[in-house]
Amino acid sequence: MKLWGGRFEKSTDELVHRYNASIDFDRRLYAADIQGSQAYARALADAGILTQEELMAILDGLARVQLEFDEQRFPFDPADEDIHSAVERRLHQLIGPVAGKLHTGRSRNDQVATDMRLFMLPEVEGLHAHIVALQAVIVDRAVQHIDLIMPGYTHLQQAQPVLWSHWLMSYFWMLARDSERLEDWRRRAAVSPLGAGALAGTPLELDRAALAADLGLDSISANSLDAVSDRDFVVEFLFCAALLQVHLSRLAEDLIIFSSREFGYVRIDEAYATGSSLMPQKMNPDPLELARGKTGRILGHLVGLLTTLKGLPSAYNKDMQEDKEPVFDALDTLNLTLPILAGIVRTLKVDGDRMASALDEGTLATELADYLVRQGVPFRQSHAIVGQAVRRAAEQDVPLWALSLETLQALHPAFGPDAYQVLDFWEAVEAKSAPGGTATRAVQGQIEKAQDWLQEHSTESTDKAMGF
């Protein structure tokens, strides 16, 4: 039974049927499809298209179909093209010809656009919860190790000393933006296309707003052509997913470097590492490498879908069927990556001594330049003077603080004996006390802000993801 068999004399080529079919992957939409159909049936009854009896038969039949899916005993048929035809076909088998009234005024075009939104809304909430759970772990570890000092890097070269907690918290704020982007995404996703029909709208007296409310959606689409062809919410989600995965990838990369023998700042818990089949001593950060590596596929999904949509003529085109697998894959990938990274951060062994002893005194050169600035020397000049001091120290093969006061004063008379006081890693850290800086007090302030953020953005789902 084909939904569109009427005008055809010949049957579909077998390869074309397989090519056309999306049932292998869009079966994942079954609950959303049934939810949409149940609400649509109620709207049809409200509009006087279905009698109460017919409505009850359809609702009851849909509930039975749902149960078959839930219990993984839905009888698929080789002729099923997609989830919409499969559900309708089965409903017909269960309740007879009255099933045929369900599709009145509806097209698979507005149906599938609705299904994707209904499917994605709770999924994205679940994803959001995983992000917030990772953010909470980050704050916990930052609180626990607020006072460890380590080299801060630019260009992966030691730059200035920072607190480890400050480094870690930098990821909190990236993830906060990711969370907020997904919260904002909801506004454009919770829109109901139902009632747009195939492209032109519905001839029925449907109360579209009531139908949207029944589906838990916030508003209705304003233009039926746009409604059936709008996949912005899918693209936007893939962008959110891509940027999120990029952040996770960078966190993974930092941890890979910091856990290497040469750095040794952190140790990955054995439960999150893997071994080598050849070298018995190896402990490899495979999960972190995968977090980094899987970024490629998610970026690919975003570019892939944008490319699919580019150049499509108005309204629905079958190309749009390609919107589903990228969403499923992005969700599956992130729903694993996020809790794994949370586990890695939660169980990380942190070696404050290794970090502190890795600090190169060159990272204090800026402090010396700032010292001269406080004596009234313009920064550009002090930068050049301290550059010469660094060179002298290198020539004499001694640290910066071993240069004699005469040597310093020969470079600039403003150097006094107190200049040596600024050549201290902790002094350097605590000097950055303005909000957002790495001084202990500033990091504490940042952590309080983060805790407020967590309170504000927590939901029942985030509590669950955090294991409360």
To the query of whether residue 247 is one of the catalytic residues in this protein, the response is: no
Nearer to ligand ARG, 73 or 318 (CB): 318
Residues binding ligand ARG: what is the number (CB under 6 A)?
10
Q: Which of 106, 108, 128, 432 binds ligand ARG (CB under 6 A)?
A: 108
When asked if residue 453 is in the footprint of ligand ARG (CB under 6 A), the reply is no
When asked if residue 22 is in the footprint of ligand ARG (CB under 6 A), the reply is yes
Nearer to ligand ARG, 307 or 451 (CB): 307
- In this chain, which stretch among 43-51, 312-320, 358-366, 402-410 interacts with ligand ARG, using CB under 6 A? 312-320
Neighbours of 52 (CB within 10 A): 8
Helix (H) or strand (E) holding 192: strand 191-192
- Nearest distance, CB of residue 455 and ligand ARG, angstroms: 40
Nearer to ligand ARG, 22 or 202 (CB): 22
Q: Which of 54, 82, 110, 230 binds ligand ARG (CB under 6 A)?
A: 82
Nearer to ligand ARG, 78 or 376 (CB): 78
Closest to 162 measured CA to CA, from 460, 466, 448, 426? 426
Q: Which of 215, 320, 341, 385 binds ligand ARG (CB under 6 A)?
A: 320
Q: Which of 50, 112, 182, 220 binds ligand ARG (CB under 6 A)?
A: 112
Closest to 314 measured CA to CA, from 224, 233, 235, 195? 224
Q: Which of 109, 192, 221, 462 binds ligand ARG (CB under 6 A)?
A: 109
- In this chain, which stretch among 108-116, 206-214, 271-279, 433-441 interacts with ligand ARG, using CB under 6 A? 108-116
Binding characters for ligand ARG, 321-360, by CB under 6 A (x = yes): x---------------------------------------
Place of tokens 């490319």: 307
3-state secondary structure 84-103: HHHHHHHHHHHHCHHHHHCC
d(CA 330, CA 256): 23
Give how far Cα 77 sits from Cα of 1, 22, 82, 234, 450, Å: 10, 13, 11, 29, 52
- Nearest distance, CB of residue 315 and ligand ARG, angstroms: 10
- 305, 235 contact by CB (below 8 A): yes
| Tokens describing residue 220 | 């209705």
- Amino acid, res. 122: P
To the query of whether residue 276 is one of the catalytic residues in this protein, the response is: yes
Catalytic residue among 11, 260, 276, 404: 276
> Is residue 79 packed enough to be buried (19+ CB in 10 Å), middle (13-18) or exposed (0-12)?
middle
- 210, 46 contact by CB (below 8 A): yes
- 322, 240 contact by CB (below 8 A): no
- In this chain, which stretch among 251-259, 316-324, 350-358, 428-436 interacts with ligand ARG, using CB under 6 A? 316-324
Binding characters for ligand ARG, 165-184, by CB under 6 A (x = yes): --------------------
- 189, 121 contact by CB (below 8 A): yes
Nearer to ligand ARG, 26 or 178 (CB): 26
| Tokens describing residue 251 | 């966190």
Neighbours of 341 (CB within 10 A): 24
- Nearest distance, CB of residue 13 and ligand ARG, angstroms: 16
d(CA 128, CA 166): 23
- Nearest distance, CB of residue 64 and ligand ARG, angstroms: 23
When asked if residue 230 is in the footprint of ligand ARG (CB under 6 A), the reply is no
d(CA 71, CA 23): 18
Helix (H) or strand (E) holding 171: helix 164-189
- Nearest distance, CB of residue 22 and ligand ARG, angstroms: 4
Q: Which residues are marked as active site?
A: 155, 276
Q: List residues near ligand ARG by CB under 6 A.
A: 22, 26, 82, 108-109, 112, 316, 318, 320-321
